[in-house]
C-alpha cells in the first residue's frame, strides 16, 4: 500500500507543479501581450510596465482568455482587429513558454 500512496503523491505533486507552471506562463503571456499593446498605444518605460501589469490583473477576473482579449480590444479600439489581438496572444504564449523552458 505504501507504494500506491507514494505513486499517488507523486502524481499530485506533478499536477501541482504543472498547474503552477501554467499559471506562470499565462501571467508571462499576459505581460508580453500587455507590452505589445502598450507599444501600440505609445506607452514606454514605466507607463508600459504598469499597463502590462493591468493586463495581467485583468486575466484574474474570469477564467479563460476572454477578459484579457476584451481589455486589450477596449484599450486598442479600432486600431487592431480582434483576430490580430488573438494572434498576438498566441504569439505571446509561445514566447512565454520558450522563456520558461530556457529558465529551467
Predicted TM-score of the model (pTM): 0.85
Confidence of residue 1 (pLDDT cuts 50, 70, 90): low
pLDDT at residue number 63: 79
The three three-digit cell numbers of residue 60, written as one number? 484574474
Per-residue pLDDT of 43-58, as tens digits, reads 999 999 999 999 999 9
Q: List, in order, residues 6 or more apart from 76 with CB less than 8 Å away.
A: 37, 40, 41, 85
- Mean of pLDDT over the chain: 91
Compute the average pLDDT of residues 60-79: 91
Domains recognised in the chain with CATH numbers: 26-103 (1.10.790.20)
Q: Got the DSSP string for 25-50?
A: HHHHHHHHHHHHHHHHTT--HHHHHH
With CA atoms as reference, report the closest residue to 74 among 50, 46, 55, 89.
Answer: 55
Amino acid at each position: 500500500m505504501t507504494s500506491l500512496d507514494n505513486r499517488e503523491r507523486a502524481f499530485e505533486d506533478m499536477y501541482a507543479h504543472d498547474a503552477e507552471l501554467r499559471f506562470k506562463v499565462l501571467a508571462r503571456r499576459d505581460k508580453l501581450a500587455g507590452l505589445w499593446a502598450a507599444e501600440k498605444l505609445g506607452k514606454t518605460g514605466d507607463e508600459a510596465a504598469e499597463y502590462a501589469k493591468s493586463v495581467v490583473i485583468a486575466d484574474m477576473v474570469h477564467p479563460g482568455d476572454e477578459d484579457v482579449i476584451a481589455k486589450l480590444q477596449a484599450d486598442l479600439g479600432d486600431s487592431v482587429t480582434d483576430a490580430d489581438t488573438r494572434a498576438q496572444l498566441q504569439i505571446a504564449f509561445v514566447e512565454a513558454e520558450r522563456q520558461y523552458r530556457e529558465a529551467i
